[in-house]
Amino acid sequence: MEFSALTRFLRKNHQLNPLKWIVLISVGLSLFCTLFDSLFPHLNIPRPTVFFSLSLWGVQHLFLWQLLTHFFVSPFTGGLDLSFVLYLVFNLYFLWVVGSSVILHKSTKDFLSLYLGGGLLGGLVSLALLWINPSPTLIAGFNPAFYALLTAWMMLFPEVQVLLFFTIPVKIKWLILGILGVNLFIDISHGDFLHCAPYVSSALLGYFYALLVWHQQSPFTKLHIFEKKLLYFSRKLQRNSSPYHSGHSKIYDFKTGNPILSDEEFFEVCLTKIASHGKNSLSLTERWKMRRISKKKKRHENSSNLKT
């Protein structure tokens, strides 16, 4: 019954189709590489991992698809074992949880931009390091793509609590920060900058995407001054570069896409959004607009009281 219910759920949620395909491709490509890595050399054929993982040798031989395929392949090769299964299950489970949350609260475009963008950026950084310090190392794994998505997700729901090991309640912001910190500390302690640098670059991509595209500030107050300045310059640049810029911009309804012409309508839509998704669902621009309208109403009420 549970399996059939899950199947019906997957069929109904067409919005999640890109996420389903990413999970299926990751499972299929990882299993293919793991199962046939030991067989292909006996047939005088290079291992599948060599074709799909990112390497300096592969790019030099114009295997340019490696930039896109390397973050769909598990780094564990040499046959099925517990490490491979655990890596695949846990990573793809968290990818499903985080990815579906981003798609449902933002959009499929945001999910694909973060996941594919994080994977491609991590691949380019790895390739640059391999070019500077040539090595036969094969780069594979979901982490660079996943870290961009994970960082943006943390900025969306920083105060939400989850159960660590199904028992310990912890806020998402501390959980994600801990995961990133532990992985980076392990890589740095081993001098593994070839993996450390792509992780950092992908996490930064997720951070700046959430900040500049969603106007979502981080949960860490010490960064807010920097973030506000960056948002200010970003909006100024967008206004100056837009050929359709005018002195008065329109505010649009979140659901219908229709322009909102009055402060009262905008305020009501924001209150509806807060009631449905919480205060953190508002962007920095929407919060600023609500505060401005509230101050305007108070000034109007005070002036009315003075007249009476």
What's the DSSP call for residue 54? B
What pLDDT does residue 2 have?
Answer: 45
Phi, psi (degrees; rounded to nearest 5) at 158: -65, -30
DSSP per-residue string spanning 167-186: TEEEEHHHHHHHHHHHHHHH
Instruction: Give the span between the Cα atoms of 26 and 20, in whole angstroms.
Output: 10
For 157, the 3-state DSSP assignment is: coil
**Quick one: which H or E segment has residue 231?**
helix 224-241
What pLDDT does residue 149 have?
Answer: 92
Q: Report the percentage of the chain scoring pLDDT > 90.
A: 11
Q: Which amino acid is at 126?
A: S
Alpha helices per DSSP H over 106-156 = 108-132, 143-156
Among residues 136, 142, 120, 123, the alpha carbon closest in space to that of 56 is found at 136
Which residues of the chain have a pLDDT value below 70? Answer: 1-15, 77-79, 165-166, 239-262, 302-308
DSSP-based helix, strand, coil % in the chain, nearest 5: 70, 5, 25
Q: pLDDT tens-digit profile of 194-217? A: 888 888 999 999 999 998 888 888
Which residues have C-beta within 8 Å of that of residue 92, sequence separation ≥ 6?
23, 26, 27, 142
What pLDDT does residue 48 have?
Answer: 84
User: Which tokens in the block code for residue 87?
Assistant: 């890596």
Beta bridge partners of 251: 260
CATH for the 9-212 domain, from 1.20.1540.10, 2.40.10.170, 1.10.150.20, 2.40.70.10? 1.20.1540.10
Q: pLDDT tens-digit profile of 124-158? A: 999 999 888 888 888 888 888 989 999 999 888 88
Please state the domain extents for the chain: 9-212, 250-307
DSSP per-residue string spanning 4-19: HHHHHHHHH-GGGHHH
Instruction: Give the span between the Cα atoms of 65 and 281, in whole angstroms.
Output: 37
What pLDDT does residue 1 have?
Answer: 40
What pLDDT does residue 6 have?
Answer: 46
CB 119 within 8 A of CB 141: no
Phi, psi (degrees; rounded to nearest 5) at 218: -75, 165
Q: What is the pTM of this model?
A: 0.71
